[in-house]
Structure 1
Amino acid sequence: MCQLKSDNPSFVLHGVEDVKIENRPIPELENDEVLVEVAKTGICGSDVHYLQHGKIGSFVVKEPMCLGHESSGKVVKLGPKAAGLKVGQRVALEPGMGCRTCDMCKGGLYELCPNMTFAATPPYIYGTLCRYYKLVADMLHPIPDAVSDEDGAMMEPLSVAVHSLSKLAKCKSGDNVVIFGAGPVGLLCMAVAKALGAARIVAVDIQQERLDFAKSYAATDVFLPPKKNDGEDMDVYAERISAEILAALDIPAIGSGALNICIDASGAAVCIATGLHLLRPDGTFVQVGMGAPTIPIPMFAIVTKQLRVLGSFRYGQGDYPLAISLVSRGLVDLKPLVTHRYKFQDAREAFDITKAGKDKDGKPVIKVIIDPPQ
C-alpha cells in the first residue's frame, strides 16, 4: 500500500447547476476491490447533461453525486482478494461493474447488465472526479509507458468507438464508413475506422470548423449539409441530403465503393434517417449518439435494403484492451483531441466551457481534461 493522503476532495453535483468541491470519505475495500488514486479525468457530455438537467432519461439524480467517469490513475491499495494488479501500477478505469450473476453478465454482455453499477450514474452516487476511487480489479486495465495518463483517461470514450466499429459494425479493411457528428465520440469513431483499415471515412456535421478538424484528423471526406427548405418534410430532406452526399463525394449507391457502414454519433433524427438512406443494400447502421427517445425512421429503406440496425451501449468484453492496444501501437492518436486542461479547483469552469463548446477566446472545445486534487 502507498502512503495515502487523509482526504478525498470530490466534485459533487447537488442539483441542477449546483456543484461543490467537498471532502468525502476514502473508500473502504472489500474482496477484489482496488483503490485508485485518480490521475486525469475527462469531461463527458453525460456529465454536462447531469449538471444542466439533473437526469438522463430514467437516470435521475436524487442525492448528491460525484461526477466523472473518464479517468486514469494509479493503484494505491489492494483489497484482500484483488489479483492481477500491483501497487503503483498505472491503469485506465473501466468505470462500471455488472452483477456478474445475471444472464447478460454470464453471456459476456456485461454492459447490458440490468444491475450495472456505473460511475456518476444514478442511483450510484460515486464518480471519478475525486482523489480516490474504488473499482473491482478486473475493471482496471494496465496501461504501458507509451500511453500517457491523459491517453488513459481517454480510453473510456475510445472504447465506446471500439465497441461500435469493431464489435458491432465489424469494420474491416476496405470498408466504407459514414459517421454523423464530429464531436469527441464521432471523431474517435473516425480514428478507429481508420485504424481498422477503412478505405473511406466520410464525416457529416453542421459545423464547418468541426469538419475541418475531422479532415485533418481521420476523415477522408467531409460534408456540410445544406439547410432544410421551408415546409420540406424531414424524410424528403433526408433523402435529398443522402443523394447530395453521394453526388458531391462521387460515392456509388451500390457496388464497389458504396457506403456499407453508418455510425450515428449525433442522436439527431434527420441524421439517422439520412444515414439509413445512404447505406448500400446489406449495410450496417449503428446508433451511438443519444437523442430523443422516440423518432420516425425510414422503415422502407431498412426493409428493402435488408439493413442491420444496431444500438450501441457503452463498451464490453475486450473493448478496453483493444483501445489501449490501438493507442500504444500508434494506430490511434488521442493527443490532438485534448484542447483544454484545467486544475481540479477550476472544474466548474471546465464544465462551463464544455457546455458552451468554446472557451472565452472563441477556441472550439473538443475534450477537456481535469487534473487530480493537489
Structure 2
Amino acid sequence: MTNPMTNRVVCLHAQDDLRLETRPVQAPAEGEVRVAILAGGICGSDLHYWLEGGIGTIRVREPIILGHEAAGRVEALGPGVTELAVGQLVAINPSHPCGTCDFCRQGLERHCTAMKFKGSAMYLPHQQGMFRDLMVIGAAQCHPLPQGIEPGAAACAEPLAVCLHAVRRAEDVAGPLTGKTVLVTGAGPIGALCIAVARQRGAARIIVTDIQDATLAVARQMGADHAVNTRTDPEGLTPWREGRGQVDLVFECSAAAPAIADAVACLRPLGTLVQVGVAGPTALPLNVMVGKEILFVGSQRFDVEFAEAVQMIGSRAIDPTPMITATFSADQAHQAFETARDRARSVKVQITFAAKGGQNNKEAMA
C-alpha cells in the first residue's frame, strides 16, 4: 500500500501543464472510506481541461486533480461505515448532489444546482478528482463489485451509466429497443457503450459511424453489426437513407454537425434522436427534423443508472474491456493523455495507480 504521506496525484495547473505531484491524505471521517485507486479512465472533459484550459466558459482557475472515472479497493473505513469492507473492489460515483435544491427534491439529482462532481472546474474551489493513489470519499458513493472483476472494467461504470441514462431517455419516449434499428454516431467510449447497451436491450440491427477505422473496429467488438467510415466511404449510409429513412433510433455521440445531419437523414419519420454528445453551438437540420416529425431528446449524465452500471459490469451482462485500448502507470500520465487525444488509435485510455512503470496497449490499436 502506498504511504499516505507520499500519495501521488495527477494535477493540472493550467492549460498544457499536467504534473505528477504528492499530496497528503487524511483519515476517513464519519461515513467516509479511504480507497486505493487502481484504475482511472481519461474522459473527453479531462482532455479539454488539459488541451484548452477549460470547457467552453468553464475555466481551470486553480490546480485541479483530474479524473472522474475510477475504481479501487477500500483501504480504510471511517466511523459508522458498515456496508463496505476493507479489500472490496468499488466503483466510485463522481456525483454528489446536494439533496436540497428544487431539482433534487423533484428526484432530478442530475440537474442539481449545487452538484459536487469530482474532477470538475465548474465552481471554486474546484472539485478535486480521482487520479490519485488514495482518495477519501463518502461511503455512499462507493459501489462494490464481486470478486474476479478487473479494476479497469469497474472504472467504466461512470461512462456506462451515461449510456444507460441515454437508453432510458429513449425508452421513456419511444418504447423498448427490442427489434429496433439503431444508429450510433461516434465510436468513442460513449458510442461504444451505447452499442453494448443497445445490443443487450435487444436491438435488431446496430449501425455505427465514425471517421476512424480503429475505433470502428472496437465498436464491432462491442456489438455493432455495420460500421461506416463516413470520411472514406461517404455513401456508406445510403441503404439507411432510402425511403425517407430506415433507422428507428439514433444515439448521437459526436456532437458533430455532419454526424447529426447523417442521423436525421437516416431516421424514419417519427424516429427518435437522442443527443448524448455535447459541444458548443451546433447547427441542426431543423427543416428535415420538422418535416419528418423527428423526436429530439437530450440526455444529461445519470442518476440511479450508476448503480445499474455497476451491477451490469459485476454480472458481466456488459463487458467494457474491448474499448480499453491502452493503460499507463501514473508516472506516465502525460503519455497517457497524449495517447488519449489520438483518436486514430485510442478509445478509452486508463491510468493505473497499482504499480509504477510499464505500458499496455492493445495490439489492434498500435
Residue in 1 that maps onto 2:224:
219
Residue in 1 that maps onto 2:308:
322
Mapped pair 1:203 → 2:190:
no
Give how far 1:315 is off.
1.5
The superposition leaves residues 49-87 of structure 1 with CA deviations (integer Å, 9 ceiling, x where unpaired) of 111111012321100001111100122233334453233
> Aligned equivalents of 2:45 and 2:91: distance in 1?
19
The superposition leaves residues 133-176 of structure 1 with CA deviations (integer Å, 9 ceiling, x where unpaired) of 23222221111124211111111111111111234445521121
Residue in 2 that maps onto 1:298:
285
Residue in 2 that maps onto 1:20:
19
Query: Relative to 1, partners in 2 of residues 1:330 and 1:74: Cα closer, same or farther, differing over 3 Å?
Result: closer
2:278 match: secondary structure: coil
Give how far 1:98 is off.
0.6
Residue in 1 that maps onto 2:361:
none
Give RMSD over aligned pairs: 2.4
Farther off after superposition, 260-269 or 296-305:
296-305
Please, what TM-score do these two structures have when normalized by structure 1?
Answer: 0.85
Residue in 1 that maps onto 2:325:
339
- Residue ranges of structure 1 left out of the alignment (5+ in a row): 229-240, 359-363
Quick check: 1:9–1:23 contact (8 Å CA) kept in 2?
yes
Please, what TM-score do these two structures have when normalized by structure 2?
Answer: 0.87
> Aligned equivalents of 1:324 and 1:29: distance in 2?
23
Mapped pair 1:372 → 2:353:
yes
Query: Relative to 1, partners in 2 of residues 1:373 and 1:13: Cα closer, same or farther, differing over 3 Å?
Result: farther
Query: Relative to 1, partners in 2 of residues 1:27 and 1:285: Cα closer, same or farther, differing over 3 Å?
Result: farther
2:4 match: secondary structure: coil
Taking the TM superposition and a 5 Å limit, the aligned residue runs for 1:248-267 are: 248=239, 253=244, 258-267=246-255
> Aligned equivalents of 1:141 and 1:106: distance in 2?
23
The superposition leaves residues 63-115 of structure 1 with CA deviations (integer Å, 9 ceiling, x where unpaired) of 00011111001222333344532332211011121111112222222111111
> Aligned equivalents of 2:257 and 2:171: distance in 1?
20
Identity %, equivalent residues? 33
> Aligned equivalents of 2:221 and 2:79: distance in 1?
48
The superposition leaves residues 199-249 of structure 1 with CA deviations (integer Å, 9 ceiling, x where unpaired) of 111101122333233234311112232589xxxxxxxxxxxx7xx556435
Give how far 1:274 is off.
2.3
How many correspondences in the alignment? 349
Residue in 2 that maps onto 1:179:
184
Letter in 2 for 1:266: S
> Aligned equivalents of 1:180 and 1:285: distance in 2?
11
Farther off after superposition, 344-353 or 84-93:
84-93
Mapped pair 1:307 → 2:306:
no
Query: Relative to 1, partners in 2 of residues 1:106 and 1:34: Cα closer, same or farther, differing over 3 Å?
Result: farther
Alignment match of 1:287 (pick from 275, 289, 294): 275
Query: Relative to 1, partners in 2 of residues 1:351 and 1:246: Cα closer, same or farther, differing over 3 Å?
Result: closer
Query: Relative to 1, partners in 2 of residues 1:355 and 1:194: Cα closer, same or farther, differing over 3 Å?
Result: same
Give how far 1:31 is off.
4.0
- Residue ranges of structure 2 left out of the alignment (5+ in a row): 356-366
Residue in 1 that maps onto 2:360:
none
